[in-house]
Amino acid sequence: MNVASMVNAFGGGKLFSCKENDENSHSNFSVSEASVSNSVVVSSSAAANLVMLGAGYFCPLTGFHNKDDALSICEGMRMQNGQFWPVPVLNLLRTHEGISEGDVVALKDPNVEDCPILAYQRVESVERLTSIEMERMTKNIFGTLDKKHPGVETFLSQGPVLISGDVLVLNYSFYENSFAGTFVTAGQIRTAFAQRNWQKVVAFQTRNPMHRAHEELCKIAKNELGADGVLIHMLLGKLKEGDIPANVRDSAIRTMVELYFAENTAMVCGYGFDMLYAGPKEALLHAVIRQNAGCSHLIVGRDHAGVGDYYSPFAAQEIFHSELVSSAYEIEIFEADHTAFSKKLNKVVMMRDVPDHVPEDFIMLSGSRVREMLGNGEALPPEFARPEVADILMAYYQGLRNI
């Protein structure tokens, strides 16, 4: 088995990145100091987009979308050239002062001390979004205009000036140093699959620690699909307040895989992106990311990429059912049901697989109840969390209490 036998990169071609000096780079320009006209500190969202472009996860894009493409994507999930794309990739600023069409601009990293240069952008256009256009975009991406939605709040805070154009990414921000051994590029994942002789791979997206239900869901999907392995792919970027930090999640997940997964059945790694909490639209983006990483399947479960009550429980599965969406991907979706611990069977099950059960046969805990228990120093039940994982989470929450 070799890399070529995996699914194609999204869009049907070969994987490429926008990273300088990457053997898979497809950047459309090079930069000399003399050609750079100005510099600007970008938003964390734009910086995350640059990391994803540099790491090959947003292939076949070569830079930031312009207004026409952004509006077309929001309203019909296609760019002006007809290419399917679920969520616009934007560099939004509050002002365009010092930036003009045709410039090459240094984009500085807001998430690293002293804001070093993260990338260069060749400016195709400088456009201002009207308040009506910002509302249309927001509504189409997030399904709501409610500023209590963390994704909406972040999106609207960036500014109305849209800077489009190709990029040349210099580095991966703080991810390589802060998450050495965990942060990897799409190309590196493909190489790792080839080295493991994995061809059929099911991906599991997570921004949370993995409890028993998540663990068993990965195993159920692998077994039902006859997959060679599971890619446990965690988001390493910014989250909403109250979510567990990436370093704690990384430790908890690695401990679980080491102790409770058979050897060479699961690969743990992460990617550098800020969570959108965009529900169905973000699920589509997750599928793009995993296809670029060489996965054949993606687990999409209840309230995938959601927050609060903004999306119906299985909206992220339903969006893949349309002809427009299903025809755009080579990666396939594994639709997961609610998972819970069955007292009858003494194991975690998908609830659709046990029609003879009644509600009293299950042990279920909400995420908020779990956080409350951990914050109060209460042990999590073994039906919910592996003891070694519970210990890591308990230590984190107890540390918060002692601050």
Helix (H, G, I), strand (E, B) or coil at 108: strand
> In the chain, which residues have pLDDT < 70?
1-4, 34, 365-368, 401-403
The 3 state secondary structure assigned to 114-166 is CCCEEEEEECCEEEECCHHHHHHHHHHHHCCCCCCCHHHHHHHCCCCEEEEEE
The reported pLDDT for the residue numbered 234 is 96
The reported pLDDT for the residue numbered 24 is 80
CATH class of 180-401: alpha beta
Among 10, 20, 22, which Cα is nearest to 166's? 20
The reported pLDDT for the residue numbered 364 is 81
Phi and psi angles of residue 370, each rounded to the nearest 5 degrees, phi first = -60, -45
Q: Which two tokens stand for residue 260?
A: 């409770």
Write down the domain spans for the chain: 3-176, 180-401
Q: How many other C-beta atoms can be found within 10 angstroms of the C-beta atom of residue 359?
A: 8
Report the phi/psi class of residue 294: left, alpha or beta, with left for phi > 0 and alpha for psi in -120 to 50. Answer: left
b/e per residue 208-220 (b: at least 16 CB within 10 A) = bbbbbbbbbbbbb
Q: Round to whole Å and give the CA distance between 24 and 393.
A: 38
The reported pLDDT for the residue numbered 23 is 79
Q: Round to whole Å and give the CA distance between 47 and 119.
A: 9
Q: Round to whole Å and give the CA distance between 16 and 181.
A: 21
b/e per residue 267-286 (b: at least 16 CB within 10 A) = bbbbbbbbbbbbbbbbbbbb
Q: Round to whole Å and give the CA distance between 294 and 281.
A: 21
Q: Which two tokens stand for residue 145?
A: 């205009």
The reported pLDDT for the residue numbered 64 is 98
With a CB cutoff of 8 Å and minimum separation 6, the contacts of 358 are none
With a CB cutoff of 8 Å and minimum separation 6, the contacts of 189 are 231, 267, 269, 293, 294
The reported pLDDT for the residue numbered 401 is 65
The reported pLDDT for the residue numbered 1 is 39
Q: Round to whole Å and give the CA distance between 165 and 397.
A: 43
Q: Round to whole Å and give the CA distance between 67 and 139.
A: 16
CATH class of 3-176: alpha beta
Catalytic residues: 207-208
Q: Provide the whole-model pTM.
A: 0.94
The reported pLDDT for the residue numbered 374 is 83
The reported pLDDT for the residue numbered 61 is 97
